[in-house]
Structure 1
Amino acid sequence: MKQVKAMTVRLSEDQAQALEMLASVENRPVSDVIRSAITTHIETRRRDPKFQAGLKDRISQARKLLDR
């Protein structure tokens, strides 16, 4: 079984109400809706060439720091 990490997220009152309403309409726990949204966001970024270029740049910068 995969490890689970608890995290705290601060939302505006409007965001919290909208999230709770969405979860209620979908008859799902709020945490499931949040996890699904995060998964979708991560997958979208993985397919985004601009994000990938930025990620490669960060990796390159980190390697330069380690090679010093």
Structure 2
Amino acid sequence: MAKAMTLRLEEELARELEAIARVEGISVSKAVRQAVAQYVQAKRTDRAFQKRLGRFMNENKAIL
């Protein structure tokens, strides 16, 4: 199931995103989903981030 989220962008960045989506023939929402998916994938393979994530998870077991 998809989760709705609100995103605020600076006007210039929003215009660029809209132009990119138009050129690619996709919705702005799809362009954002693709960008977020790429960002998350990069973090999955980033060893330094994974180490910080592991520490965070261990330190916050009670609230997670």
TM-score (norm 2): 0.92
Q: CA deviation at 1:25?
A: 0.5
Partner residue of 1:53 out of 14, 37, 51: 51
Unaligned runs of 5+ in 1: none
Unaligned runs of 5+ in 2: none
Equivalent residue number for residue 28 of structure 1: 26
CA RMSD between the two structures:
0.8
Give the 5 Å matches for 1:39-50: 39-50=37-48
Identity of aligned residues (%): 35
After superposition, the C-alpha distances for 1:4-58 in whole angstroms (9 at most, x for unaligned) are 1110000000110000000011011110100000000000000000100100100
TM-score (norm 1): 0.87
Give every structure 1 segment of 4 or more consecutive aligned residues whose post-TM-superposition deviation is greater than 4 Å.
none
- C-alpha distance in structure 1 between counterparts of 2:44 and 2:2, whole Å: 22
